[in-house]
Structure 1
Amino acid sequence: MQDSLFKRTAIHFTHANGIPAPSYQKFFACFEDEFDLKSIPMIGLNPQYPITHDWRYLVDQIIDDIEQKFHARKVIGLGHSFGSLLTLMSAYKRPDLFSQLVIMDPPFVIGSRSPMFEIAKKLKLKAIDQLTPAGITLKRTDHWENHEQAYASMRHNPLFKHFDERCFQDFLACGLQQDIKRGGLTLAVPKIVEAEIFRTVPAWWWRTPRKAPAVPVHLMSAQNSPFYKQGFPQGMQKTYQINYSLMQGGHMFPLEQPEKTAELVKQIIARQKNI
């Protein structure tokens, strides 16, 4: 069994902000026959890797996890949203760890807005909560009496309403935990942690060499993604020569269409092997 795993192509996956990796089980299942896929269950909660203005320690967490889990094997870096940007940043720092990247809808702050965003961030201006989802996140309900109440409360929330049903059930299973102080259930990733990650999205790209990391990279976005509508993928293609493709759906497409997304990811992986 161990030998067969080592013969498979290695994938390291990094989850979206506030959406623990086990939420993606249906997506992961599509890779089981051909790939050895591993991930960090929840990012942002380990005090050894604190959240800072440039995510440097979170990047170190990705690098350390790859080194620990794959033992000198090169990996395909695969991530969603926050996780895709961490994966990309890790590849800039340690390209030797990666064979290729597939980044799904990264919040890549690019262009003229970058320096303004960075100033607002460093000065900790209240505007940062309006410029990012942090403000909405802090207003989210984060306490329920039981799973039934949590399901009814969140299922039609704009973030979750298009989730595949099994993906949503998997999110409830791993994304909720016992609330020690109030009783009932609360979020496994506290909303203050999720908001802090949103507030600290790096915007240093305007100061870096304007090229992709030294491995093949492809970006996936969706027609209804706010990042696509704001021109992030288009800007990355123009400035960094990182090509992109579009899916139907919104920003959470890997959890809305897990099987279709996985199939497209595998097609991209196959194409990039020949680059």
Structure 2
Amino acid sequence: MNAPEQTTAVQSPAAVADEFLSRSLGWASNAGGGPTLRGRRFDRPGPTLHFVHGNGFCGGVYWPFLRQLNTRYGLFCHDIEGHGASDAPARFSGVRNVIRRIEPIIREQQLDRAAPLIGIGHSFGAALTLRAAAANPGLFRALVLLDPIVMPPATWFGIKLLSAFGRNPMSRAALRRRTRWSSVDEVLQRLHGRGIYTGWRDDALRCFAAHATRDLDGKRELCCPPRIEAKIFESPVYPWPAFAQIDCPVLLVYGRSSYDFVPVSARRAHGINPAIDVVEVDGGHCFMQEHPDTSATLVLQWLAAQDLSPGTARP
């Protein structure tokens, strides 16, 4: 595995994390019914990116990557239920309901007036974005899917079967996850170089500590309850009809060291829809936290190739 990308920004990791809030406006919505959802928005004229995060994360976790896109594009970070500052229901509402709410929130928040609106997501969020695009033709002018959790049918069925019998290993691991720390510094110390956080750049890990945990009586607590994270692991998105239904350009990027099924699914997606551009990059499932600069450059170049750069994009 390549060495973690070094921070090139002048700001310290803490300053980068703080910037996510200082440069944005908060939003809240009950559109579509269900728990109140919240997130951050960075409004600017021209094309806007609608971003959905991975399971257990939130928009702010991706700021070292997204801030480079935001220099040219508007940005709307859509935190699903139980993540970031969004309310957590007593029980996970289910994948269909989470997908169903994307379109009415976009309409209510007037993102559909963006010229144009581009859907982008990572992991579970990429799969949600794909399905929302298929269900709402014309909603997005392009999609950027970052290491999407889109499983081959046999793998998808196997996960559903394991989940039905309480044997899903990722769900069980989520339920055992530590949820509280004494401080941000302890979050950083305990997570650095471990598991999914291996190889993350310092500012990316700081953004996780700042935005995916919250203050609780002077300590830090995970924003996403383990019960919600576990249910999402038990509820993989079935993506395959959607790949044939989408009506806009798609970039699918995956990490060379990601889950074994990801490149298999990427090839299958391209076989279903040859218009999908598939790119393999260095890094794992969270390659955009390992290599924010090169990941952002790749996305910016692809959007430019689709005539979706600010100043050239058609409404």
TM-score by length of 2: 0.74
Aligned partner of 2:221 in structure 1 is: 186
- 59-68 or 188-197, larger mean C-alpha shift: 59-68
Kindly tell me: are residues 42 and 209 of structure 1, through their superposed partners in 2, closer, same or farther at Cα, counting changes over 3 Å? closer
Q: Taking every aligned residue pair, what percent have the same amino acid on both sides?
A: 23
Kindly tell me: are residues 174 and 7 of structure 1, through their superposed partners in 2, closer, same or farther at Cα, counting changes over 3 Å? closer
- 223-232 or 6-15, larger mean C-alpha shift: 223-232
Kindly tell me: are residues 140 and 25 of structure 1, through their superposed partners in 2, closer, same or farther at Cα, counting changes over 3 Å? same
Mapped partners of 1:52, 1:120: distance in 2: 20
Aligned partner of 2:13 in structure 1 is: none
Question: Once the two structures are superposed, what CA deviation does each residue of 1:196-220 show, in whole Å capped at 9, x if it has no partner?
Answer: 1111112363xx3761411111200
Aligned partner of 1:102 in structure 2 is: 144
The 5 Å alignment of 1:250-261 reads 250-261=284-295
Kindly tell me: are residues 164 and 212 of structure 1, through their superposed partners in 2, closer, same or farther at Cα, counting changes over 3 Å? farther
1:221 touches 1:228 (CA, 8 Å); kept in 2? no
Mapped partners of 1:227, 1:41: distance in 2: 27
Kindly tell me: are residues 220 and 212 of structure 1, through their superposed partners in 2, closer, same or farther at Cα, counting changes over 3 Å? farther
Aligned partner of 2:281 in structure 1 is: 247
Q: 2:270 aligns with which of 229, 237, 252?
A: 237
Aligned partner of 2:98 in structure 1 is: 58
Q: 1:162 aligns with which of 199, 222, 247?
A: 199
Shift of 1:110: 2.1
Aligned partner of 1:226 in structure 2 is: 259
- 16-25 or 109-118, larger mean C-alpha shift: 109-118
Mapped partners of 2:242, 2:258: distance in 1: 27
Mapped partners of 2:119, 2:178: distance in 1: 33
Aligned partner of 1:32 in structure 2 is: 70
Question: Once the two structures are superposed, what CA deviation does each residue of 1:236-275 show, in whole Å capped at 9, x if it has no partner?
Answer: 222343331011010001111111101101111122338x
2:124 touches 2:148 (CA, 8 Å); kept in 1? yes
Mapped partners of 1:163, 1:105: distance in 2: 15
Question: Once the two structures are superposed, what CA deviation does each residue of 1:5-50 show, in whole Å capped at 9, x if it has no partner?
Answer: 5642111111111111111122121123321111124544546897
3-state SS of paired residue (1:108): coil
Which residue identity is paired with 1:8? G
3-state SS of paired residue (1:273): coil
3-state SS of paired residue (1:96): coil
How many positions carry a matched residue from both structures?
260
Kindly tell me: are residues 266 and 200 of structure 1, through their superposed partners in 2, closer, same or farther at Cα, counting changes over 3 Å? same
- Larger fraction in helix: 1
Kindly tell me: are residues 201 and 228 of structure 1, through their superposed partners in 2, closer, same or farther at Cα, counting changes over 3 Å? closer
In the alignment, structure 2 segments of 5+ residues that lack a partner are 1-42, 309-315
Which residue identity is paired with 1:30? Q
Question: Once the two structures are superposed, what CA deviation does each residue of 1:89-144 show, in whole Å capped at 9, x if it has no partner?
Answer: 100111221101010011112233344444555xx2223x13xx222222222121
Q: 2:230 aligns with which of 175, 195, 208?
A: 195
3-state SS of paired residue (1:211): helix
- 1:72 and 2:113 matched: yes
Mapped partners of 1:71, 1:154: distance in 2: 38
The 5 Å alignment of 1:36-51 reads 36-44=74-82, 45-46=86-87, 51=92
Shift of 1:87: 0.5
Which residue identity is paired with 1:112? A
3-state SS of paired residue (2:195): coil
3-state SS of paired residue (1:200): coil
TM-score by length of 1: 0.84
Kindly tell me: are residues 125 and 233 of structure 1, through their superposed partners in 2, closer, same or farther at Cα, counting changes over 3 Å? same
1:49 touches 1:61 (CA, 8 Å); kept in 2? no
Kindly tell me: are residues 238 and 75 of structure 1, through their superposed partners in 2, closer, same or farther at Cα, counting changes over 3 Å? same
